[in-house]
Amino acid sequence: MNWLERAFLVLLTSSLAGCGTVVPQLRDWPYATDVQGELMVQAIVRSIRCELRHAVTTAVNDDIASAHANKGKTYSDFLDNWGAQLLLTLTVVEKSTLSPSVNLMPPSPASSVLNVAAGGSLSSQATRTEKMNFFYTVKELYLRKGEECDASGEERQGSLLVKNDLKIASILTSRINTVALGQARAPAAGKPNVLSHQITFQIVSSGNITPSWRLVRATINPSGSLFNTSRDRTQDLVITFGPLDKAQGGKSLIAIAEQAHFASQLASGVSSGFKAALPQ
């Protein structure tokens, strides 16, 4: 093995020693530690729970306030026997590719020129997916007089799900208004009346290195990128509102709502899989 081959071997092994060859951290550098990842998860859960509580409270209180113009009739009563099933999915995909090439010009007779081109490619990919399910009843989410849930001082911890308007209140208000305006009946217990809300944030960062060396009888990496790396972070939230299952003591949604939540979870997983497989 000559010095040129040794150089390529060293470069090949050292370049892929990190990205795509170890389990990714949930947070980016310089906060890429288990502790910082845990802080991010806790910040996400606290922030989402607060927004859920404000969304439910806003939707119900707005309905109560408008009841004065509706002869005292409220249209949000069905929420008393509803709950919310949440699925939080955190996916991190790290990829790296090494594509060295060399153009050799060994000694040849004066009447001819010998040119030898060689190249190779080595890639690695590491994927980390974490799924967390949470369940709340609408009654426990509703903020009664004197109760507060303030996430304004929450640190974002690298997540766009924290301190962000996730538009949860709009889906509840829209469903209540369809009943108030006579466009649909109020959801009845045990019926396939399910509300689903999904938010996905995807952040992709990438970089490449393209060095080139020209020697007397060889050109190393004459064209193309030598080393490419990318990091794809997807944070997905699925919220399913539906009637409580009385047979389970109100500790879960009815079967139809659970099936709808599972279908959303499956669709989210398939979508994340396709995104991870696509080149960045």
Q: What is the pLDDT of residue 52?
A: 96
Element (H, E) at 271: helix 255-277
Sheet holding 122-137, edge to edge: 122-137, 82-98, 227-243, 195-209
Q: What is the pLDDT of residue 226?
A: 78
Residue 12: φ, ψ to 5°: -65, -45
Per-position pLDDT tens, the chain of length 280: 455 445 544 444 444 445 777 899 999 989 999 999 999 999 999 999 999 999 999 999 999 988 877 778 899 999 999 999 999 999 999 998 888 888 777 776 655 666 777 777 888 899 999 999 999 999 999 999 889 998 888 888 989 999 889 999 999 999 999 988 888 888 776 566 789 999 999 999 888 887 777 777 777 777 767 788 889 999 999 999 999 988 888 888 887 787 777 777 777 666 666 655 665 5
Q: What is the pLDDT of residue 269?
A: 64
For residue 209, the number of C-alpha atoms closer than 13 Å in the C-beta half-sphere is 11
Element (H, E) at 86: strand 82-98
DSSP count for the chain of H helices, then E strands: 5, 8
50 near 58, Cβ under 8 Å? no
Q: What is the pLDDT of residue 17?
A: 45
Burial of 221 (0-12, 13-18, 19+ CB in 10 A): buried
Question: Is residue 194 classed as helix, strand or coil in its secondary structure?
Answer: coil
208 near 228, Cβ under 8 Å? yes
120: nearest Cα among 239, 50, 15, 32: 15
